Amino acid sequence: MSSNGQTSADDILIHVNDLNKWYGEFHVLKDINLHVKKGEKIIICGPSGSGKSTLIRCMNRLEKYQAGEVLIDGILLDDNVKNLEAVRKEVAMVFQHFNLFPHMTILDNLTLAPRLVNKMPKKDAEEMAMSYLERVKIPQQANKFPGQLSGGQQQRVAIARALCSNPRVMLFDEPTSALDPEMIKEVLDVMVELAEEGTTMICVTHEMGFAKQVADRVIFMDEGRIIEENTPHEFFDNPQNERTQLFLSQILGH
């Protein structure tokens, strides 16, 4: 299935090897090693400023890194534009603030990448977009503008938009953090469904219920390092590291 021989053997889709990144003098990511198998669901959590968003943003090169390497499906993410183009076709991202294009209808938002990047004919792209809108349960909003939708609806549109480029990996950067509490569930429901369908997902979130439900692995980061990495069962019931225990008591305590 995989396009490149060297990674298909062990079915690992994402390699992060000794990744280091600095913002000026500030060392944001320190010696990160992470390997994600095809179909795996990874939840990344940790206190704010721990580098978790920066880590997933390195996986589609919204952020550059200074040392180490990130390979997606065998493609090295470096300054090579060809590689970048190839990776961005395979990796889709859902943002905290949705980042829908406010001047375009929902349908145009969804068909943009298929038409411009994958050169799909308009009619096919619209059919596909409608099928994804049905999957996130808002096909009736297709001709509205983002500003006319609620936050939860906008985030579901953003998920559908990400799916429209047929990605092999979905990155979620705190997808529910900007939502009102009553809208979080509708977005998480869609994400659970995606997880059950076998999509490879890497999700930065503090929704621990969601993590327990779908994660294959939970990763805890602090101060730019991966502190702990375990199955959700072990992670929540038997955290090894002191900082993990503190974080969990704070986040689950209230």
Partner 1 sequence: MSNIAIKPPSQSGIVNWMKENLFSNKLNTVISIICIYLVVKFLAGVVDWGILNAVFAADASACKAASDGACWGVISEKYRFIIFGTYPADEQWRPLLAMVWFVGLIICSLLRSFWKLWLLPLWIASLIGLGILMWGGVLGLSYVENTQWGGLPLTLMLAVVGTVAAFPLGILLALGRRSELPLIRVWCVAFIELVRGVPLISVLFMASVMFPLFLPEGVTIDKLLRAQIGIILFTSAYLAEVFRGGLQAVPKGQYEAAAAMGLTYWQTMRVVVMPQALRIVIPPTVNSFISMFKDTSLVLIIGLFDLLATAKVAITDPVWRAFYIEVYIFVAAIYFVFCYSMASYANNLETELRKGEQH
Question: Rule CB under 8 A: which residues touch partner 1?
Answer: 60, 62, 85, 88-89, 91-93, 95, 97, 99-103, 112-113, 116-117, 145, 147-148, 161-162, 165
Is residue 59 a contact partner of residue 169, using CB atoms and an 8 Å limit? yes
| Distance of closest approach, residue 150 Cβ to partner 1, in angstroms | 14
| Distance of closest approach, residue 112 Cβ to partner 1, in angstroms | 7
| Distance of closest approach, residue 98 Cβ to partner 1, in angstroms | 8
| Complex with partner 1: residue 159 or 226, whichever CB lies closer | 159
CA distance 139 to 133: 5
Mark 167-198 as b/e (b = at least 16 C-beta within 10 Å): bbbbbbbbbbeebeeebbebbbebbeebbeee
Question: What are the tokens at 195?
Answer: 């997880």
| Complex with partner 1: residue 110 or 227, whichever CB lies closer | 110
Return the number of other C-beta atoms located less than 10 Å from residue 251's C-beta: 13
| Complex with partner 1: residue 85 or 124, whichever CB lies closer | 85
| Complex with partner 1: residue 114 or 232, whichever CB lies closer | 114
| Complex with partner 1: residue 76 or 246, whichever CB lies closer | 76
Q: In DSSP terms, which residues pair with 75 in a beta bridge?
A: 72
| Complex with partner 1: residue 93 or 187, whichever CB lies closer | 93
| Distance of closest approach, residue 252 Cβ to partner 1, in angstroms | 30
DSSP 83: H
| Complex with partner 1: residue 60 or 205, whichever CB lies closer | 60
Tell how far CA 246 is from the center of its chain.
25
| Distance of closest approach, residue 232 Cβ to partner 1, in angstroms | 27
DSSP 11: T
| Distance of closest approach, residue 146 Cβ to partner 1, in angstroms | 8
| Distance of closest approach, residue 235 Cβ to partner 1, in angstroms | 28
Give the DSSP letter string of 86-144. HHHHHEEEE-TT----TTS-HHHHHHHHHHHTS---HHHHHHHHHHHHHHTT-GGGTTS
Q: Give, in order, the Cα–Cα distances in Å from 170 to each of 7, 63, 225.
A: 19, 17, 22
Contacts of 252 (CB under 8 A, 6+ apart): 208
